[in-house]
C-alpha cells in the first residue's frame, strides 16, 4: 500500500517522507531511534479524524500501521517516536484561546513558552510546567502528566485539566470532562462507541475499586501505568475520563484541544540557596523545610554544578549577551563561597507571594531553623537575583546533551520517586549501584517530593556500555520498589520503563491496564510499544549507538 498516495486523497495538511525529515523525527530526547514511514502535519480536526479512520480501516490489511502523536518532541522515554506514522501537532495546532476568568482552551502544538506569554498578560500561570518549559509543548505536558519546580505547592498537570477533546479509535472527536452522577448515567445509556467506552471503564473501575485504590503508588507523584485510581470519585460521585487520558502518552487517543484552569502568578519571590557538604542529614533537612510550605524545593548535585561552570559560556545562547554578562557578574559572590570546593548538593527553597515582608520573614524563619545543621546558605531576595540558580536547574539537561564530547545523556533512571523519609537509607545504596557500573552522572530534581532526575553520561557506541543499561536499571528499579517508590514521577513509561511496569504492579493491576488499552484501542493503532505493550527486546533493539 502506498500510504502517502492514499492520504493525499483526503488529508489537507502536509505529508512528508524524505530522508531528512525521517531522520529528524526518528528521535526525541531519549536514547532510542526509530525511523518512521511517514510524518504528517494535520491542518485541523478533520485531518486527524480522517487519518484515524484510515488507519483503523486498513489495520487488518497492513498490521504495521499505527499513529504516534508528537508536539515538541522533548520526551525522554521514547514516547514520541515510532516506525509508522508520526502525527506532528506543532505546525498547525497552535491556537491559544481567550481567557475567561481563570479558564483557557489551547491546542496541543502550542509551546509552553508562547502559552505562558499569553497567560501572564492576565497575571495567570499554568504552574505544572517542567524544567524543559522553553522547548516543550502543551500536548506533551498532557501526554506525560508533566510536573516541575512548582508541583510541590501546586500539583501536576492532571490537577489543571478541566476538559479534553480527543479523537478516539473510531475516528470521532469526543469531549471528555468530569461528569456528575446523572451525566454519567446518560453516557452509560448511550448505545454508541462513546457509551460503550464509558460503560466498560465504569464497570472496570467500579468492580475493582478497592484493588485499584490499594495499588495507587504511595508517592508524591506518579506517571506510570494508567491512572485508574482517580477516574471514579465515589465520595463526590464524579466520573472523570480526563484523569485517564492525561499521562496515557497518546496510547488511548489523540488530544486535539485542552481546557485548563490557571492560577494567579505571584509577583514576588525569595530564594534560599543551601549548600550541603554531604547528605548525612538529608531527611532531617527535608523534614525541616517542607512543613514551612515553600512554593519550590529543588536540588542539583556537584556534577551538575561543575558541568554548568565548565560550560558556562554556553548560557550566552540561551540568554543573549546583555543578560549573560549580568548573570556572570551575579555569580561573583558565589565563587567566594565555593572556593573551598563544590557542595555535594545545592538546594533551592523558594517562597512566593505578594508581600515582600512576609517572604522575608519566611526566609529568616527557614534560616533560623536550619542553623543547627551548620550549612552555608545564600539568600536571593528577588526573582532577578534567583534567576541564575533556576537557569542551572532548568538547563542542565540541555547543556549535558549538547556539550559532553564522546558521551551522551542516557536517561534510563531519570525520574525515580521515593518517599522523602526513606531517602537517607535509599541514596547511599543508589550511589553504590551507580558506582558499581562506573557511571558518570548528574542528579537534579524535586527534593520536597523525593523525585530525582539521574542522568548518566555514557558512550553508547560501545557495546559494553549499552549492556550496562538493563542490568543497572533492574537493580535501581528493585531498590526504588523496596523503598516504596515509583519508577517515574513525571517522564512516563514509553520505551524505557514500559517493559518494567510489572516490577511496580501486580498481575491483577497489569491485567486491568491491558483491559483499559483494549477498551479504547482494540486494534492497537495508537502509539504501540509504549505503556502496557512495551517489550524490552524491541526497545533495546532500537537503542541508539551513535549521536
How far is Cα 102 from Cα 31, in angstroms, rounded to an integer? 38
**pLDDT tens, 439-481?**
988 888 898 999 999 989 899 999 999 999 999 999 999 999 9
Percentage, residues of the chain above pLDDT 90: 77
Distance CA 505, CA 224 (A): 10
pLDDT digits (tens, 9 = 90+) for 189-222: 999 999 999 999 999 999 999 999 999 999 999 9
pLDDT at 442: 81
pLDDT in tens, 145-167: 999 999 999 999 999 999 999 99
pLDDT at 401 over 70: no
For the stretch 319-356, pLDDT in tens is 555 554 555 545 545 554 555 567 888 899 999 999 99
3-class SS of residue 313: helix
What pLDDT does residue 326 have?
56
CA distance 300 to 447: 9
Calculate Rg over the CA atoms of the chain: 23
Cα–chain-centroid distance for residue 292?
26
Locate the DSSP E strands across 177-267. Answer: 232-233, 238-239, 254-261, 263-264
* Mean of pLDDT values over 382-402: 66
Find cell 485510581 and name the residue: 229
Confidence of residue 424 (pLDDT cuts 50, 70, 90): confident
Measured CA to CA, the distance from residue 49 to residue 57 in angstroms comes to: 12
Using an 8 Å Cβ cutoff, are 363 and 272 in contact? yes
Joined together, the cell numbers standing for residue 438 give: 562506573
Amino acid at each position: 500500500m502506498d500510504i502517502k498516495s492514499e492520504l493525499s486523497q483526503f488529508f489537507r495538511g502536509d505529508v512528508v517522507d524524505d530522508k531528512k525529515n525521517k531522520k529528524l523525527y526518528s528521535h526525541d530526547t531519549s536514547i532510542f531511534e526509530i525511523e518512521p514511514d511517514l510524518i504528517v502535519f494535520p491542518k485541523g480536526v478533520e485531518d486527524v479524524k480522517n487519518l484515524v479512520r484510515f488507519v483503523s480501516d486498513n489495520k487488518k490489511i497492513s498490521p504495521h500501521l499505527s499513529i504516534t502523536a508528537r508536539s515538541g518532541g522533548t520526551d525522554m522515554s521514547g514516547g514520541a517516536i515510532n516506525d509508522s506514522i508520526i502525527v506532528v501537532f506543532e505546525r498547525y495546532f497552535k491556537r491559544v484561546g481567550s481567557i475567561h476568568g481563570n479558564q483557557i482552551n489551547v491546542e496541543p502544538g502550542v509551546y509552553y513558552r508562547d502559552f505562558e506569554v499569553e497567560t501572564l498578560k492576565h497575571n495567570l500561570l499554568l504552574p505544572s510546567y517542567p524544567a524543559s518549559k522553553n522547548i516543550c509543548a502543551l500536548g506533551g505536558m498532557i501526554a506525560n502528566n508533566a510536573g516541575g519546580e512548582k508541583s510541590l505547592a501546586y500539583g501536576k498537570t492532571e490537577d489543571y485539566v478541566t476538559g479534553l477533546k480527543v479523537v478516539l479509535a473510531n475516528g470521532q472527536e469526543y469531549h471528555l470532562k468530569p461528569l456528575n452522577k446523572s451525566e454519567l448515567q446518560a453516557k452509560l445509556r448511550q448505545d454508541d462507541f462513546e457509551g460503550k467506552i464509558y460503560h466498560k471503564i465504569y464497570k472496570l473501575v467500579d468492580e475493582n475499586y478497592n484493588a485499584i485504590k490499594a495499588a495507587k503508588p504511595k508517592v508524591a507523584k506518579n506517571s506510570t501505568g494508567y491512572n485508574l485510581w482517580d477516574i471514579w470519585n465515589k465520595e463526590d460521585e464524579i466520573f472523570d475520563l480526563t484523569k485517564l487520558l492525561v499521562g496515557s502518552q497518546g496510547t488511548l487517543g489523540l488530544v486535539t484541544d485542552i481546557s485548563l484552569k490557571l492560577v494567579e502568578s505571584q509577583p514576588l519571590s525569595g530564594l534560599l540557596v543551601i549548600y550541603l557538604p554531604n547528605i548525612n542529614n538529608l531527611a532531617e533537612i527535608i523534614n525541616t523545610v517542607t512543613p514551612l510550605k515553600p512554593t519550590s524545593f529543588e536540588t542539583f548535585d556537584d556534577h551538575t554544578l561543575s558541568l554548568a561552570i565548565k560550560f558556562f559560556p554556553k548560557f550566552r545562547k540561551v540568554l543573549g549577551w546583555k543578560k549573560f554578562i549580568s548573570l556572570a557578574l551575579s555569580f561573583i559572590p558565589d565563587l567566594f563561597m565555593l572556593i573551598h570546593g563544590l557542595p555535594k548538593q545545592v538546594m533551592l527553597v523558594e517562597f512566593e507571594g505578594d508581600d515582600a515582608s512576609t517572604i522575608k520573614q519566611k526566609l529568616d524563619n527557614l534560616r533560623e531553623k536550619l542553623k543547627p545543621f551548620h550549612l552555608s546558605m545564600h539568600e536571593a531576595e528577588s526573582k532577578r537575583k534567583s534567576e541564575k540558580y533556576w537557569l542551572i536547574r532548568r538547563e542542565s539537561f540541555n547543556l549535558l546533551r549538547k556539550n559532553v564530547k564522546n558521551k551522551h545523556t542516557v536517561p534510563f533512571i531519570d525520574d525515580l520517586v521515593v518517599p522523602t523519609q526513606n531517602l537517607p537509607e535509599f541514596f547511599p545504596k543508589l550511589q553504590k549501584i551507580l558506582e558499581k557500573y562506573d557511571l558518570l552522572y548528574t542528579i537534579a530534581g524535586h527534593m520536597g517530593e523525593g523525585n530525582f532526575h539521574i542522568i548518566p553520561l555514557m558512550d553508547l557506541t560501545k557495546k559494553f556500555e549499552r549492556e550496562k543499561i538493563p542490568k543497572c536499571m533492574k537493580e535501581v528499579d528493585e531498590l526504588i520498589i523496596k523503598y516504596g517508590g515509583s519508577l517515574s514521577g513525571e517522564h512516563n513509561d514509553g520505551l524505557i520503563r514500559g517493559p518494567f511496569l510489572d516490577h511496580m504492579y501486580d498481575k491483577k493491576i497489569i491485567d486491568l491496564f491491558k483491559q483499559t488499552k483494549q477498551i479504547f484501542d482494540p486494534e492497537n493503532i495508537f502509539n504501540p510499544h509504549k505503556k502496557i505493550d512495551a517489550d524490552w527486546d524491541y526497545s533495546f533493539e532500537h537503542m541508539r549507538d551513535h549521536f
